[in-house]
Chain A
Amino acid sequence: MLSVSGLSAYYGRAHILDDVALDVGPGEVVVLLGRNGAGKSTTMKAIMGLVPPAAGRVRFDGAEIAGREPFEIARRGLGYVPEERRIFTGLSVLENLEVGRRPPTAGLRPWTPERLFALFPSLGAMQDRPGGRMSGGEQQMLTIARTLMGNPKLILLDEPSEGLAPVVVERMAEAIRALKAEGLSILLSEQNLHFAQAVSDRATIIEKGRIRWSGSIADLLAADEVREQYLSV
């Protein structure tokens, strides 16, 4: 579904990503693990075209998308959920969803506000509330729901558990499993191994902009030295 190889990116002169490669198969949940500043968010932004990739290939759904504009990439069925949520604070919940709305994708059940409110019940209770007057957890749900309104085939989910209360993290994990059950592919970025292992099939570890390890979640749980080296704080 998504196949990245040799991806490099710079901020000014700082080399942020170096030869990043990763794959996400259809219906698969892959987690990109790494510490703060390892390059997780930049990888996602580079895939989405928000940070122009300096080199490398990004194939999505049979087409090369590296160098394309974010809106074109989104229209091909790649959804992006930013780490900072970036809710439109002046717009109501329903209006936020409206901004994300795109035509249905063949083979996937189209998302509607009603279906999303079933997935995230707390949003349903505040449809007309401005995005700026919601808690962090509610905003996180809204940003995912907003991206889903575009009926993506794959979503890039940047640190969805960050800064959320444990109860909310638990609900987020349930939602991600529900999305996987719908047949959606997901590339997740996380620092929280506990959360990642609960929802992911495979893991890829990034450190200082380079991919250091890839394998199944089970392998990662068995490889103590890998976790020790790249993930422990």
Chain B
Amino acid sequence: MENLVLQALSGLASASSLFLVASGLTVIFGVSRVVNFAHGSLYMLGAYLAYSLVTTLPRGHLGFWGGVIGAAVLVGLIGLVVEVLLLRRIYRAPELFQLLATFGVVLIVQDLAQMIWGPQDLLGPRAPGLRGSIEIVGMRFPLYELFLIGVGPVVLGLLVLLFHRTRWGTLVRAATQDREMVGALGVNQRMLFTSVFFLGSLLAGLGGALQLPRESVNLHMDLAIITEAFVVVVVGGLGSLTGAALAALLIGELHAFGILIVPKITLVLVFLVMALVLVVRPHGLLGKPEAAARGGQGSAEPVIGPAPPALRWLGLATLAVAVVLPPFLGDYAVSVLTELAIAVLFAASLHLIMGPGGMASFGNAAYFGIGAYGAALAAQWLGAPMLAGLALAPLAAGVFGLLFGYFCVRLSGVYAAMLTLAFAQIAWSVAFQWVEVTGGDNGILGVWPSAWAAPKLVYYYLALALCLGATLFLRRVVHAPFGYALRAQRDSALRAEAIGIDAFRIRWLGFGLAAAAAGVAGGLFAYGKGSVFPTYMGIPRSVDALLMVLLGGVQTLSGPIVGALAFTGLQEQLVRITDLWRLILGCIIVLLVLFFPQGLAGAARARWEARHGDA
């Protein structure tokens, strides 16, 4: 019984910290509609800066609390700079582009933090005056945790006052609903957005700084917290402060008690709850439908036509090189080419949902991974030969795609994307924690191709043929009546339904098809590497797919191909030549977003159309 009370209290302390970060994220999203991936990086910077300040300033109350507040303010200023230099220029870009830009910032901050503070974990001092513990129901409970429990409600109260009792708050709430109208009433939106970013970043920094006496500061804090913060924000309802507080409470306690009750599935638990909430309440606990927000939307999606002759020739030339060149290359180069071919199909599968389908998926890696595990499990437990494994991969991925998609495609926008993320995390957790079957973190080894396909070169041609075939098939689908229906429901679900298109069914099948295609890629990847690991389904791999599609351009068919080649090639090269590949890749992403907002293929097409007149 006493144990439960303490567990509940420690859950409250976590909830409090989580709320600080999530409140900043939700406030920023509410006004700017930017899904800020870099919010976790700001949190991490808050912790690092607090470490530096607290250890530099004189010991004692002033040094510690001054350091914490100072770190929060500094992070607020960093957020402000990011907004002014980067985000301000891309508010009119599609939502996902902003996400891509903020992901570029994540990469940059990771390397900068490592350069400044080094790779080792840093342990900060304890908070003066809060070092001890007190006795609660006969057990010792740390004072600092108790202090944290108080911080959350205090910050919530201050924020509520700020938003409901000041002119600034009223303007922010108005802009959350209709920022264009607020501008037409004489409010400088830019200043408003910048100040909101300052506040949101400050809250993230504060959240990070307050962790200093609690846990070590390290380079993994950013991605660890951002997933949790996203979950809290989405479960609470995007833009809703009270919702974020409720959700933080829910998630905090879930963590605390999940470990006691069902230790086997702790990792899944949070995402299960998120999936459940979104299925029952598509806009989170206290969220409002997203469609209400107006202003700043871009123009309609361009119509996809058949490829112009020049592009056709370029494609054929690339293909010719891909077929003729490999026999003259070494094994390493051939396996890199194999990975490129797989990346193209992986990106193309995501593109089908994102471009023609109009839904963002943050969890495409799940289907890649399910394909890979499908093949590997069949090989390990059933002794299935390679071809059977390769056939099973898309089947398994497709079935799970239909299962998960059944829930995901009912939602729209960020909520849909978050639900795909939740399912992907569930799949990842199963692979990670169900050690008896999947081998857990050690993965499944010895998934080798059949003897005839064992030489790298043969396997490359097999992969090329399958990936190319599947990619061309996806292209064909876009130009088939099914593809028309898919694009019709993207442009207007209501009008599409009015002419007899079952928008849900079309989206659902599209999702399943894309999953199956990702499964082919995953299966090929498994046999190519000879092993599968839970990381195949991890968030980074889903983000890779997003980067490929967005880099190439969402609304061109050649986009995913160009993007996959550019991204995979670039990453491969950067990792080989420099330790700072994240920094460089991040800068490249940011520059691309700023200067090629339609993606590489989109920019090329725009240039081509400008030169050849209207297509």
Residues of A in contact with B (beta carbons under 8 Å apart): 12, 48, 50, 69-71, 74-75, 80, 82, 86, 88-91, 95-96, 98-102, 146-147, 150
- A150's partner among B178, B183, B185, B299 (CB-CB below 8 A) is B185
The answer to whether A48 touches B173, judged by C-beta atoms less than 8 angstroms apart, is: no
Binds A, one of B139-147, B186-194, B218-226: B186-194
The answer to whether A71 touches B181, judged by C-beta atoms less than 8 angstroms apart, is: no
Residue pairs across A and B with CB atoms within 8 Å: the count is: 63
Q: If the complex has contacts A12-B300, A86-B178, are A71 and B183 also in contact, measured as CB distance less than 8 A?
A: yes
Known: A70-B184, A82-B184. 12 other contacts (CB 8 A): A48-B184, A50-B184, A71-B189, A74-B183, A74-B184, A86-B178, A86-B294, A90-B173, A99-B171, A99-B182, A99-B185, A100-B186
**In the docked arrangement, what's the CA distance between A177 and B184, Å?**
24
Q: If the complex has contacts A95-B170, A98-B167, are A88 and B177 also in contact, measured as CB distance less than 8 A?
A: yes
Closest Cβ–Cβ distance, residue A144 to chain B (whole Å):
12
The answer to whether B299 touches A12, judged by C-beta atoms less than 8 angstroms apart, is: yes
- A80's partner among B184, B188, B292 (CB-CB below 8 A) is B184
Verify if B174 is at the interface (C-beta below 8 Å from A).
Answer: yes
The answer to whether B299 touches A88, judged by C-beta atoms less than 8 angstroms apart, is: no
Return chain B residues, CB-CB under 8 Å to A96: 174
Q: Which of A12, A50, A88, A102 has the most CB of B within 10 A?
A: A88
**In the docked arrangement, what's the CA distance between A48 and B183, Å?**
10
Verify if B95 is at the interface (C-beta below 8 Å from A).
Answer: no
Return chain B residues, CB-CB under 8 Å to A70: 180, 183-184
Return chain B residues, CB-CB under 8 Å to A90: 173, 176-177, 288
Interface footprint category on B: 20 to 34
Q: If the complex has contacts A88-B177, A90-B177, are A69 and B170 also in contact, measured as CB distance less than 8 A?
A: no
**In the docked arrangement, what's the CA distance between A150 and B184, Å?**
10
The answer to whether B186 touches A88, judged by C-beta atoms less than 8 angstroms apart, is: no
The answer to whether B186 touches A150, judged by C-beta atoms less than 8 angstroms apart, is: yes
The answer to whether A86 touches B181, judged by C-beta atoms less than 8 angstroms apart, is: yes
**In the docked arrangement, what's the CA distance between A146 and B500, Å?**
42
Nearest 8 CB-CB pairings of A with B: A74-B186, A99-B174, A86-B181, A88-B174, A70-B183, A70-B184, A71-B183, A80-B184
Q: Which of B167, B182, B183, B186 has the most CB of A within 10 A?
A: B186
The answer to whether B167 touches A102, judged by C-beta atoms less than 8 angstroms apart, is: no
Q: Which residue of B lies closest to A94 (CB)?
A: B170
- Scan B286-329; emit 1 where CB is below 8 A from any A CB, else 0: 00100010100001100000000000000000000000000000
Closest Cβ–Cβ distance, residue B559 to chain A (whole Å):
21
- Scan B177-220; emit 1 where CB is below 8 A from any A CB, else 0: 11011111111110000000000000000000000000000000
The answer to whether A71 touches B187, judged by C-beta atoms less than 8 angstroms apart, is: yes
**In the docked arrangement, what's the CA distance between A174 and B186, Å?**
27
Closest Cβ–Cβ distance, residue A124 to chain B (whole Å):
19
Closest Cβ–Cβ distance, residue A113 to chain B (whole Å):
13
The answer to whether A147 touches B181, judged by C-beta atoms less than 8 angstroms apart, is: no
Can you spell out 21 A-B residue pairs with CB atoms less than 8 angstroms apart?
Answer: A71-B187, A71-B189, A74-B184, A74-B186, A80-B184, A80-B185, A82-B181, A86-B181, A86-B294, A90-B173, A90-B288, A91-B173, A91-B177, A96-B174, A98-B170, A99-B174, A99-B182, A99-B187, A100-B185, A100-B186, A150-B185
Q: Which of B167, B171, B185 has the most CB of A within 10 A?
A: B185
Return chain B residues, CB-CB under 8 Å to A91: 170, 173-174, 177
Q: If the complex has contacts A12-B299, A98-B170, A99-B170, are A71 and B177 also in contact, measured as CB distance less than 8 A?
A: no
Return chain B residues, CB-CB under 8 Å to A12: 299-300
Return chain B residues, CB-CB under 8 Å to A98: 167, 170
Return chain B residues, CB-CB under 8 Å to A82: 181, 184
Return chain A residues, CB-CB under 8 Å to B180: 50, 70
The answer to whether B185 touches A74, judged by C-beta atoms less than 8 angstroms apart, is: yes
**In the docked arrangement, what's the CA distance between A91 and B292, Å?**
14
Return chain A residues, CB-CB under 8 Å to B294: 86
Q: If the complex has contacts A90-B173, A91-B170, A91-B173, are A102 and B186 also in contact, measured as CB distance less than 8 A?
A: yes
- Scan B148-188; emit 1 where CB is below 8 A from any A CB, else 0: 00000000000000000001001101101110111111111
Closest Cβ–Cβ distance, residue B422 to chain A (whole Å):
28
**In the docked arrangement, what's the CA distance between A115 and B187, Å?**
22
- B186's partner among A50, A75, A89, A95 (CB-CB below 8 A) is A75
Closest Cβ–Cβ distance, residue A8 to chain B (whole Å):
18
* B393-426 residues at the A interface, CB under 8 angstroms: none
**In the docked arrangement, what's the CA distance between A69 and B189, Å?**
10
**In the docked arrangement, what's the CA distance between A150 and B187, Å?**
10
Closest Cβ–Cβ distance, residue B192 to chain A (whole Å):
10
Q: If the complex has contacts A12-B300, A98-B170, A99-B170, are A88 and B183 also in contact, measured as CB distance less than 8 A?
A: no
Q: Which residue of A lies closest to B178 (CB)?
A: A86
Closest Cβ–Cβ distance, residue B62 to chain A (whole Å):
39
Return chain A residues, CB-CB under 8 Å to B170: 91, 95, 98-99
Closest Cβ–Cβ distance, residue A196 to chain B (whole Å):
23
Q: Which residue of A lies closest to B176 (CB)?
A: A90
Q: Which residue of A lies closest to B288 (CB)?
A: A90
**In the docked arrangement, what's the CA distance between A74 and B184, Å?**
6
Closest Cβ–Cβ distance, residue A99 to chain B (whole Å):
4
Q: If the complex has contacts A12-B300, A99-B170, are A147 and B185 also in contact, measured as CB distance less than 8 A?
A: yes
**In the docked arrangement, what's the CA distance between A99 and B170, Å?**
7
Return chain A residues, CB-CB under 8 Å to B188: 71
Closest Cβ–Cβ distance, residue A61 to chain B (whole Å):
14
Q: Which of A48, A70, A150 has the most CB of B within 10 A?
A: A70
Q: Which residue of B lies closest to A99 (CB)?
A: B174
Return chain B residues, CB-CB under 8 Å to A150: 185-186
